[in-house]
Amino acid sequence: MRVTIYDVAREANVSLATVSRVLNNSPHVRESTRRRVQEAIDKLGFEPNLVASALMTKRTRLVALLVPDISNPFYAEVARGVEDAAAELGYNCVICNVGGDTAKQAEYVNVLRRKGIDGMIFGTANYDDKLVLDLSRGSYPLTLMARDVPAAEVNRVLVDDGGGGAMAARHLLELGHRRLAMVTEPGGIHSSQERARGFREALDEAARDGVEAVYLEAEGSDIAAGLAAGRRLLDMAPRPTAVFAANDLLAIGILQAAREADARVPDDLSVVGFDGTVMADVTQPPLTTIVQPMRDMGKAAVRLLVETLQNGGEHQRIVMSPELRVAGTTAAYRPARPAAN
């Protein structure tokens, strides 16, 4: 015979409303009462009817994470943080790959809302501001990552991308490099633009004589795009002695281009990435990179979303700080090797 919510209430000696509040993680339940209800649930083997619960509460306890490409190690780490925090808070997570297509993203949003998803996390920097504003005006629970839409009443979890770009510039300048390059992502990606801004401003603030900088926009955000950009940089005369890439995948492609061109890393060319993904640890040599707290970003995004779902109130904005992790791809500037006879 199937155990019902009535059986749980009888076993715990509480009302049906109290059991319902416990099942929905309501904060308005005494801890001793919550424990008693949970003990009754465990003893009886009660399994809540999620469909019925959703009909009664108009909540599915489902949240969605929209990312450009879950195969990208950065988004995979963010997703792990989202899933871990969602599970701790009693929610399940749906992950959607939307690519860089804003129309596809809007289509996903419409489908997810029709399916009754409680709230969403936009884990991509490439989205239509109008879509965000429309959701905001409708008071739909939403957390933005990667970039901000100041006019929208939504939660935000951001990283100080400009500060990270400045870290990369200062690190390379301190190593004595004066001929630098930066490879950015294409299509006006906000985070990449902010990293370039921070890099450029740090170079300007240093105001050191003889500092030259080249900015090159890659044709993509992956290793292949980094390889193509690296080939272009290494064909320059004179070559840059240090390169900052807007993400780790671009940086890995630049390392491949250096090997092709017989440019030793870090002796002839220093390379800095951005993200701090697992890929940075498996390059040869290991990649110096600006590390984002990826999993913590995902956890924070869910917690803000669930706080809005459960308690409403003012939306919050969190800005996390990246860190420079020095590894094997950067070293002090050395004059170019003399050409072989």
Please tell me the class of the 161-292 domain: alpha beta
In the chain, % of residues over pLDDT 70: 92
The reported pLDDT for the residue numbered 1 is: 61
Q: Where in the chain is the domain with CATH 3.40.50.2300?
A: 62-159+293-321, 161-292
Question: What CATH number labels 5-57?
Answer: 1.10.260.40
Q: Measured in whole angstroms, how far is the alpha carbon of residue 19 from the centre of its chain?
A: 36
The reported pLDDT for the residue numbered 49 is: 56
Alpha helix ranges (H) inside 161-220 = 161-174, 190-206
Residue 206 tokens read as 């240093």
Q: Where in the chain is the domain with CATH 1.10.260.40?
A: 5-57
pLDDT tens-digit map of 161-172: 999 999 999 999
Of residues 94 and 50, the one with the higher pLDDT is 94
Going by their DSSP bridges, the two strands 155-159 and 142-145 should be labelled as parallel
CATH architecture of 62-159+293-321: 3-Layer(aba) Sandwich (3.40)
What's phi and psi for 242, nearest 5 deg? -150, 145
Using an 8 Å Cβ cutoff, are 22 and 37 in contact? yes
Q: What would the mean pLDDT of 19-47 be, rounded to a whole number? A: 82
